[in-house]
Amino acid sequence: MENTGTILLTLGAILFLGFATDELGRRTRLPRVTLLLVFGLIIGPSAADLLPEISTHWLPLFTEIALLMVGFLLGEKLSTAKLNSNGRYVFAISVSESLMTAVIVSVGLLLVGLPVGIAILLGAIAAASAPAATVDVIEQLQLRNKFVDTLEGVVAVDDAWGLLLFSIALTIVGLTASNGEQSHILLSGLWEVGGSLILGVLIGAPMAYLTGRIRSGSPTQIEALALVLICGGLAELLKVSFLLTAIVMGMTVANLAKHHDRPFHAIEGIERPFLILFFVLAGASIHLSSLWAIGLVGLVYMLCRVVGKLLGCYLGASAVHAPGNIKHWMGLALTPQAGVAMGMALIAAERFPEYKELILSIVIGTTVIFELLGPLASRLAIVRASKS
């Protein structure tokens, strides 16, 4: 009972103080994501150490629930109607910036002396972004225009390309390491991407039909939330990407549920508390000591990643004759990086233990910076692009 009381008290305090931090963001024009992460950092073990030890077990659960909701809502941005207006921008920019980031980071790390295997793996990891942080900045600004629509589309598919590149990188490094697991690695990567697409459609199709029909009137939060959680549970059991599965499910519902769009509004109504818990606990998990471990290699990784995003977006947008504000500001808006990159780093460390220490120190250390400063860059880019 004592543990139960501690858990309830801690969650209540985080939500209440998280709400206060959220309001501070509205008044100071600072990104709520950064403020919530800083708040979590302050109460976490790197600073005041106010959280009970049991809280370290909560982050994976709240991370998955929050990202499932974010992914489902991002899927709506990939409806046929929206893709007809900016789909070629989304495709060209997302492919270009993912590839360019992976290549530039890999080459940069090779030039500072890293082994080929580590450079390739880190290049693929660098392609990933942070959908939750980007979406939250957009919601806070409450701006709707072509730049924002394109950004939402790009960030929705960005991690899909990142996962595909990462699977290819695992295969290449596996071949060079000659560890006898090449076919297993390739099949695992193909299943993570392909299985996510299949599962998202299989859940999204009946969801599109059932929501709002089980009971007359608008669909309820219970229907929508139940299916989103089922999506996450099945994705975990089948070892596919729960984020990509949720995005595909949302896209399927958006394109098939012609009788309403209420599933998205139902999820929007309950996602905020989970996002607050997610960002605060993510901030609490940050260890400032990891910043001192990145050194020159970490600085090169960060610089090359930013350059890759900027150049990749510019080239992709130029290829499809996108407006100038998209060409010049989209790359900066994609600088946040968080959970997906960490997941890739953990997989790489498990597959290639000889690279474990270096990969984790670089990704963890740089993710701290991208988590804290990335939302500031996104906000600046969205505001400036919306004015131009």
Give the mean pLDDT per block of 10 residues along the chain (388 residues).
71 80 72 78 78 70 78 76 76 91 94 88 88 82 86 82 79 65 63 84 84 54 81 88 83 75 64 77 71 77 94 93 90 83 76 78 80 87 87
Find the domain containing 318 and state its range: 2-387
Helices (H) and strands (E) counted in the chain, each on its own, are 16, 0
In this prediction, residue 265 carries a pLDDT of 62
How many domains does one find in the chain?
1
What is the CB neighbour count within 10 angstroms for residue 79? Answer: 18
Domain of 196, CATH number, reads 1.20.1530.20
In this prediction, residue 217 carries a pLDDT of 47
How long a stretch of residues is the chain? 388
In this prediction, residue 259 carries a pLDDT of 56
In this prediction, residue 212 carries a pLDDT of 57
Residue in this structure with the two tokens 């942070």, named with its chain if needed: 130
Residue 26 CA, distance from chain mean position: 23
Phi-psi region of 156 (alpha: psi -120 to 50; beta: other; left: phi over 0): alpha
Q: Give the pTM.
A: 0.74
Residue 247 CA, distance from chain mean position: 11
In this prediction, residue 96 carries a pLDDT of 93
